[in-house]
């Protein structure tokens, strides 16, 4: 299927969904017992697509949203960088030292089994209501994804490639650089989309549970006053924000993973 | 050890080398009985045996990739401890680093030795040209065909100028035509500076066409060397032509007579000498 056709179909899905939302929230489907018009999606609970878009535009025009966006972006980026670097380092360490991995294995599993949301209040206590409680919440999410992928990547290096590298005279340091690192990196990149997403989740959930700025804060504020339009507007901005970040990730990973077999196109 | 001494020494000398594995349920599985294999410097020895006879294991021992259960391996007269650093190993499976281009894959073997990257790349390009891949240096392994990958692997091994070449059914996964071309290329490159070669294969024709001497191994477990055939075909050889020589056919029958029973054993077929001739395995 060619690109334009696919894009057209993708857009039509959005148009239909928004159209249904608009119709059901603005055109009455009948009359209720008390004589009031009956809506399938009452505006008080569902708002309308036009109002949401209008609100989003207003937020951007007035400029109030930029500060919140910047805060969430900074939190997510810090969470991603700290979680990513520590995940890579500890993942490498565990993979190369089976004893360490064996000793810590149950604790790693326990930590990972914990739903991270319950950490948010305690992080707020420990790190305050500023950005750091959100950053650390994101770190706990990102770390495990990167950690498990690096661990797996280093341990699953093809034994033949490894034997060959050793026969080619590589010492331990060279093996790390030329074999283990690139092998692990490909796993890290395949998990990059997930871990970036989780960095944002950490930031937003943290904000939602206690903060004075950020997209999570905006949504929470709107919910507090039953401002459904505001909630949907916040959600829409959040979605666009994550998709933009995801797009950037795709741009970054492409040149780094050229060696991976992909589709071969005939021209 | 001086160069003069080395040239007369035996390149690979496996003495009483055996392989046994401990089984998970306790007990011992003897894969290879104590065997002696020696490869003289400049000699091309093919180790021929049915699937699963432990011939690749012997190669790994000669490479120092695994220790023998008993016995010792001498490399140019010195006991091998750890990796065999004077040997190049051509693997059966794809062993190229998929994240490196063909050129980088070849150059890395020189870089590990301290050759400057710029010089290593020049040498790599020269060697890629030798194996007929001059314009493929920038390709990644997945962008090359199986035969091309094998040629890169050959260049990767040979660029380091190893004194011993260890080959584990290197052309096994390739199609028949590509195998012929690869064998030709290998012989051409080998002819130039005759290194000691230990070539493991299950292909009878390939073994005779390439080698100076063919060792036949029995079927596993507890395999041993059951045949030692000198191949007095003249060199340099033309891989395609040599197969039509009467001497080739004589050798072929002789080695096959030795090998056949072992192959039949591998597949659990009845072993009863010449009578089995009409039966298709």
Tell me the per-residue pLDDT of A187-209, one tens digit each, with 9 for 90 and over. Answer: 888 788 888 889 999 999 999 88
A198 and A234 assigned to the same domain: yes
B54 and B98 assigned to the same domain: no
- Residue B76's Cβ-count burial label (10 Å; 0-12, 13-18, 19+) is buried
What does the mean pLDDT of chain B come to? 86
Domain residues for the domain of A195 are 48-256
pLDDT at B214 over 70: yes
A79 and A121 assigned to the same domain: yes
pLDDT at B281 over 60: no
The CATH number of residue A109's host domain is 1.10.3720.10
Count the Cβ atoms, other than its own, within 10 Å of residue A89.
13
> Which residue do the tokens 């010449």 mark?
B274
Burial A140-174 (b: 16+ CB within 10 A, else e): bbbbbbbbbbbbebbbebbeebbbbbbbbbbeeeb
Tokens for B96?
A: 């190229």
Q: Give contacts of B 20-49 with A, CB under 8 A.
A: none
Comparison of pLDDT for B5 and A100, the residue scoring more: A100
B132 and B261 assigned to the same domain: no
B228 touches chain A (CB under 8 A): no
Q: Is residue B95 one of the residues assigned to a domain? A: yes
pLDDT for B29: 84
Q: Is residue A217 one of the residues assigned to a domain? A: yes
A40 and A132 assigned to the same domain: no
Give pLDDT tens digits for B54-80. 888 899 999 999 999 998 998 998 888
Give pLDDT tens digits for B120-137. 999 999 999 988 899 999
pLDDT at B278 over 50: no
pLDDT at A265 over 80: no
> Which residue do the tokens 């805060």 mark?
A71
B232 and B139 assigned to the same domain: no
Closest-CA residue of B relative to A166 is B83
| C-alpha atoms less than 13 angstroms from C-alpha of A28 in its C-beta half-sphere | 7
B62 and B193 assigned to the same domain: yes
Q: Average pLDDT in the B207-214 region? A: 92
Give long-range contacts, CB 8 A cutoff, 24+ apart: B3-9: B5/B77, B6/B41, B6/B76, B6/B163, B7/B41, B8/B41, B9/B41, B9/B76, B9/B77
Q: Is residue A221 one of the residues assigned to a domain? A: yes
Q: Is residue A61 one of the residues assigned to a domain? A: yes
A32 and A149 assigned to the same domain: no
Residues from chain B contacting residue A160 (CB–CB below 8 Å): 91, 93-95
Domain residues for the domain of B139 are 88-161
pLDDT for A35: 82
A27 and A126 assigned to the same domain: no
pLDDT at A62 over 50: yes
B187 and B221 assigned to the same domain: yes
B118 and B81 assigned to the same domain: no
Closest-CA residue of B relative to A158 is B95
Peptide bond into B3 cis (omega under 30): no
A158 and A186 assigned to the same domain: yes
The CATH number of residue B175's host domain is 3.40.50.300
Inter-chain residue contact A169 with B112, CB threshold 8 Å: yes
Helix, coil or strand: residue B28: strand
Q: How far is B41 from B84, CA to CA, in rounded Å? A: 15
Tokens for B224?
A: 């041993």
Give pLDDT tens digits for A218-263. 999 999 999 999 999 999 999 998 889 888 888 888 877 778 776 5
B74 touches chain A (CB under 8 A): no
pLDDT for A263: 54
Q: Is residue B281 one of the residues assigned to a domain? A: no
B117 touches chain A (CB under 8 A): no
A30 DSSP β-pair partners: A38
Residues from chain A contacting residue B87 (CB–CB below 8 Å): 167
- DSSP secondary structure letters along B75-122: ETTEE--SS-TTEEEE-SS--S-TTS-HHHHHHHHHHTTT--HHHHHH
Q: Number of residue pairs across A and B with CB atoms under 8 Å?
A: 63
pLDDT for B280: 44
Q: Is residue B98 one of the residues assigned to a domain? A: yes
A166 touches chain B (CB under 8 A): yes
Q: How far is A183 from A157, CA to CA, in rounded Å? A: 6
Query: Is residue A192 within 8 Å of A249, Cβ to Cβ?
Result: yes
pLDDT at A267 over 70: no
Q: How far is A218 from A203, CA to CA, in rounded Å? A: 13
A132 and A98 assigned to the same domain: yes
Inter-chain residue contact A167 with B113, CB threshold 8 Å: no
A34 and A121 assigned to the same domain: no
Name the pLDDT band for B6 (thresholds 50, 70, 90). Answer: very low
pLDDT at A264 over 70: no
Interstrand relation of B87-90 and B164-168 (parallel, antiparallel or unpaired): parallel
B72 and B94 assigned to the same domain: no
Q: Is residue A264 one of the residues assigned to a domain? A: no
B96 and B81 assigned to the same domain: no
Inter-chain residue contact A182 with B91, CB threshold 8 Å: no
Q: What is the largest CA-CA distance in chain B?
A: 63
Q: What is the largest CA-CA distance in chain A?
A: 87
pLDDT for A87: 92
Q: Is residue B256 one of the residues assigned to a domain? A: yes
A120 and A189 assigned to the same domain: yes
B12 and B151 assigned to the same domain: no
Q: Give contacts of A 226-255 with B, CB under 8 A.
A: none
Q: Is residue A19 one of the residues assigned to a domain? A: yes
Residue to substitute from B95, B104, B163, interface A, most A β-carbons within 10 A: B95
Q: How far is B110 from B123, CA to CA, in rounded Å? A: 9
Q: How far is B188 from chain A (nearest CA, A)?
A: 22
Q: Average pLDDT in the A56-72 region? A: 92
Give pLDDT tens digits for B249-268. 999 999 998 888 888 877 77
Please name the residues in contact with B267: beta carbons below 8 A apart, sequence gap of 6 or more: B281
Q: Is residue A155 one of the residues assigned to a domain? A: yes
pLDDT at A106 over 90: yes
pLDDT for B272: 60
Residues from chain B contacting residue A186 (CB–CB below 8 Å): 99
Single out the residue of B256, B273, B271 nearest to residue B48, CA to CA: B256
Q: Give contacts of B 152-171 with A, CB under 8 A.
A: 156, 160
Three-state SS letters, chain A: CCHHHHHHHHHHHHHHHHHHHHHHHHCCCEECCCCCEECCCCHHHHCCHHHHHHHHHHHHHHCHHHHHHHHHHHHHHHHHHHHHHHHHHHHHHHHHCHHHHHHHHHHHHHHHHCCHHHHHHHHHHHHCCCHHHHHHHHHHHHHHHHHHHHHHHHHCCCHHHHHHHHHCCCCHHHHHHHHHHHHHHHHHHHCHHHHHHHHHHHHHHHHHHCCCCCHHHHHHHHHHCCCHHHHHHHHHHHHHHHHHHHHHHHHHHHHHCCCCCCCCCCC
pLDDT for B279: 43
Q: How far is A39 from A188, CA to CA, in rounded Å? A: 48
B170 and B251 assigned to the same domain: yes
Residues from chain A contacting residue B93 (CB–CB below 8 Å): 160
pLDDT for B3: 44
Inter-chain residue contact A165 with B96, CB threshold 8 Å: no
Name the pLDDT band for B276 (thresholds 50, 70, 90). Answer: very low
Q: Is residue B278 one of the residues assigned to a domain? A: no
Q: How many domains does chain B have?
A: 2
For chain A, what percent of residues have pLDDT higher than 90? 54
Count the Cβ atoms, other than its own, within 10 Å of residue B190.
19
B106 and B154 assigned to the same domain: yes
- For the four alpha carbons of A90, A93, A99 and A102, in that order, the dihedral sign comes to positive
Inter-chain residue contact A163 with B65, CB threshold 8 Å: yes
> Which residue do the tokens 């395609």 mark?
B240
Q: Is residue B279 one of the residues assigned to a domain? A: no
Q: How many domains does chain A have?
A: 2
B66 touches chain A (CB under 8 A): no
Q: What pTM does this model have?
A: 0.78
Q: How far is CA A208 from the centre of its chain?
A: 16
Query: Is residue B131 within 8 Å of B106, Cβ to Cβ?
Result: no
Tokens for A21?
A: 């939302």
A34 and A19 assigned to the same domain: yes
Q: Is residue A265 one of the residues assigned to a domain? A: no
Is the interface score ipTM higher than 0.90? no
Q: Is residue B280 one of the residues assigned to a domain? A: no
Domain boundary among the residues B135, B161, B187 is at: B161
What does the mean pLDDT of chain A come to? 89
B55 and B170 assigned to the same domain: yes
Domain boundary among the residues B145, B161, B177 is at: B161
pLDDT for B274: 47
Interstrand relation of B28-40 and B196-201 (parallel, antiparallel or unpaired): unpaired
pLDDT for B2: 44
Q: How far is CA B107 from the centre of its chain?
A: 22
A58 and A183 assigned to the same domain: yes
pLDDT at A143 over 50: yes
A60 and A162 assigned to the same domain: yes
Q: Is residue A147 one of the residues assigned to a domain? A: yes
pLDDT for A183: 86
């Amino acid at each position: 299927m060619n690109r334009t056709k696919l894009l057209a179909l993708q857009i039509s899905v959005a148009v239909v969904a928004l159209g249904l939302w608009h119709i059901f929230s603005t055109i009455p489907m009948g009359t209720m017992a008390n004589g009031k018009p009956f809506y399938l999606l009452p505006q008080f609970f569902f708002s309308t697509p036009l109002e949401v878009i209008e609100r989003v535009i207003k937020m951007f025009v007035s400029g109030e949203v930029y500060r919140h966006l910047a805060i969430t972006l900074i939190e997510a980026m810090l969470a991603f960088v700290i979680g990513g670097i520590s995940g890579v380092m500890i993942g490498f360490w565990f993979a190369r030292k089976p004893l360490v991995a064996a000793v810590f294995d149950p604790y790693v599993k326990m930590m990972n089994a914990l739903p991270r949301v319950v950490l948010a209040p305690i992080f707020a206590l420990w790190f305050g209501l500023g950005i750091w409680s959100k950053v650390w919440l994101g770190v706990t999410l990102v770390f495990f994804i990167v950690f498990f992928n690096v661990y797996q990547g280093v341990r699953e290096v093809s034994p033949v490639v490894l034997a060959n590298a050793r026969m080619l005279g590589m010492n331990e340091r060279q093996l790390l650089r030329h074999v283990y690192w690139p092998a692990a990196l490909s796993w890290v990149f395949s998990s990059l989309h997930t871990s970036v997403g989780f960095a944002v989740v950490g930031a937003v959930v943290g904000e939602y549970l206690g903060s004075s700025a950020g997209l999570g804060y905006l949504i929470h504020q709107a919910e507090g006053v039953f401002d459904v339009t505001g909630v949907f507007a916040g959600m829409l901005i959040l979605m666009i924000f994550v998709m933009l970040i995801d797009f950037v990730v795709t741009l970054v990973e492409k040149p780094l993973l050229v060696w991976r077999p992909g589709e071969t196109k005939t021209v | 050890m001086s160069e003069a001494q080395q040239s007369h020494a035996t390149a690979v000398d496996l003495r009483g080398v055996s392989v046994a594995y401990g089984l998970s349920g306790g007990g011992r599985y003897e894969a290879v009985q104590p065997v002696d294999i020696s490869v003289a410097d400049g000699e091309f020895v093919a180790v021929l045996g049915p699937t699963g006879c432990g011939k690749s294991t012997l190669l790994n021992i000669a490479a120092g990739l695994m220790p023998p259960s008993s016995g010792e391996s001498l490399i140019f007269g010195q006991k091998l401890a750890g990796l065999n650093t004077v040997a190049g190993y051509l693997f059966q499976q794809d062993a190229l680093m998929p994240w490196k281009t063909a050129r980088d894959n070849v150059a890395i073997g020189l870089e590990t030795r301290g050759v400057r990257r710029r010089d290593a790349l020049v040498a790599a390009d020269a060697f890629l040209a030798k194996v007929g891949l001059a314009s493929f240096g920038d390709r990644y392994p997945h962008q090359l065909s199986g035969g091309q990958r094998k040629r890169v692997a050959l260049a990767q091994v040979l660029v380091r100028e190893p004194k011993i070449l260890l080959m584990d059914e290197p052309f096994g996964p390739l199609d028949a035509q590509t195998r012929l071309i690869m064998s030709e290329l290998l012989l051409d490159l080998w002819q130039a500076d005759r290194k000691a070669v230990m070539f493991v294969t299950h292909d009878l024709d390939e073994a005779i066409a390439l080698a100076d001497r063919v060792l036949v191994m029995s079927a596993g477990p507890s395999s041993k060397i059951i045949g030692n055939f000198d191949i007095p075909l003249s060199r340099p050889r033309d891989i395609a032509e040599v197969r039509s020589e009467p001497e080739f056919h004589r050798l072929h029958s002789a080695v096959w007579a030795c090998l056949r029973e072992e192959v039949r054993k591998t597949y659990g077929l009845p072993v009863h000498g010449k009578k089995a001739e009409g039966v298709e395995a």
